[in-house]
Amino acid sequence: MQQAALNCCNLRSATQARDGDATRHSLRSRQKFPFLTDSFRHFPFIFNHLHSTVTTRNYNLLPCVMPGPTDSSTWSLTEHLLSTFQGEHTTATQHPFLLAAAEGRLPKHILSQWLANDRLYIHSYIRAAGKLLASIDLPPAAPETKQEPGDEAAETQLVDWLIEALVGVRREERFFIDVADRYGLSINFEGQSAATETSQQKPKPGLLPGLMMIQDIFGAIDRVADGLSIPLTVLAESSTPVLLPWLEGAVTFWGTERCYLDAWSWARSKQAVVTTSGGSDDAGTEDADGGALRKEFIPNWSSVEFARFVGRLASLIDFAVAQALERAGDGADAVKDEILKRVEQKWKTLLVAEASFWPDVE
């Protein structure tokens, strides 16, 4: 892995001033990586190296060359959001369900319930990505000179990211089905049909409140500004253009992926070493779920590639916002206030939904 790609994917850490140019990455792979859990409250994980070969959950990644803000004085929207509503973020990413998963105490029926909900989350994710893709207004003119991926318009890069995400979540669903088959788990609700689930339908037994909340959030993915119900496709044709009309949607996708990454990376940091006399093939077989979480899911949901993928979208958002503030000149503070008004409450709502997505454990 080339150093240039590594450098551009580094995510800023709250401990950077103390530790120098530390590289922060939450890992999501099947490899065994050392955890350096220096601080969780703000930017939870710092990792000093990446492994060049990993088996990832989902993602075939483009080169990570997004030119995000590098000056320490540059304001970062995503870092601001991570430092806001810290209590809600901790609740969403350090749930007892995750601790039980890390310790091998999660029974199969509870894991099955969560997987069934997460599979329906994937379906809502796919629909939301399609709606956001349909709303993005790509640059009509081709660039005069060849551009590297990181030099393209933010809208073009967002389209690339969303397409990769769609490919990834489809692989994820197949991964669920494969692991469920091998470990004797169920990823269907009792009496579930092939009909599409929506939050307006009568909830099925086992349907988590967080799923219905996230379905509602995804359902409004193509609408901009707090309290504004006009679709982006209509706003794009209006005489008064909205600044970064895709921002709420991008923050929603980044936020849900970041919460997932932080949650399972925290679980991995709490994970006890799984060893048995039978060797690696038998590791985790004494867990309540037969080892599905600690052998398959947790390593897979805390990989380098996934951290880089989430980081790409964060860098895209931050760079686009930084450009907007720079263009605003003396009006930058007013533009920043407008942006925060649009996204802060949505971030809090998403954190509440993510916290409600974990089943209760005894």
Highest mean pLDDT among 76-90, 131-145, 281-295: 76-90
* Residue 122 within any structural domain of the chain: yes
| Segment among 40-49, 222-231, 257-266, 302-311 with least mean pLDDT | 40-49
CA distance 16 to 70: 13
The domain that contains 139 carries what CATH number? 1.20.910.10
Q: Which token pair is 130?
A: 């399609």
More confident residue, 7 or 91: 91
Domain count, the chain: 1
* Residue 360 within any structural domain of the chain: no
CA distance 252 to 258: 10
Residue with tokens 């349907």: 207
| Segment among 14-23, 70-79, 228-237, 275-284 with least mean pLDDT | 14-23
Say whether pLDDT at 239 is over 70. no
Say whether pLDDT at 184 is over 80. yes
Residue 204, pLDDT score = 67
* Residue 322 within any structural domain of the chain: yes
- Encoded amino acid at 46, one letter: I
- Report the pLDDT averaged over residues 249-259: 98
Highest mean pLDDT among 30-39, 167-176, 235-244: 167-176
pTM for the predicted model, two decimal places: 0.75
Instruction: Report the percentage of the chain scoring pLDDT > 70.
Output: 65
pLDDT confidence tier of residue 299, bands split at 50, 70 and 90: confident
Instruction: Report the percentage of the chain scoring pLDDT > 90.
Output: 59
**Selection from 262, 260, 251, 287 nearest residue 132 by Cα:** 251
* Residue 362 within any structural domain of the chain: no
* Residue 8 within any structural domain of the chain: yes
**Selection from 236, 244, 237, 215 nearest residue 336 by Cα:** 244
More confident residue, 271 or 28: 271
pLDDT confidence tier of residue 259, bands split at 50, 70 and 90: very high
Say whether pLDDT at 7 is over 60. no
**Selection from 216, 221, 228 nearest residue 248 by Cα:** 221
Task: State which residues form the domain around 77.
Answer: 3-355
* Residue 169 within any structural domain of the chain: yes
Residue 283, pLDDT score = 58
Which class for 168: exposed (0-12), middle (13-18), buried (19 or more C-beta within 10 A)? buried
- Report the pLDDT averaged over residues 212-230: 76
**Selection from 268, 294, 251 nearest residue 26 by Cα:** 268
Say whether pLDDT at 200 is over 60. no
CA 273, 274, 277, 281 torsion-angle sign: negative
* Residue 361 within any structural domain of the chain: no
Say whether pLDDT at 300 is over 90. no
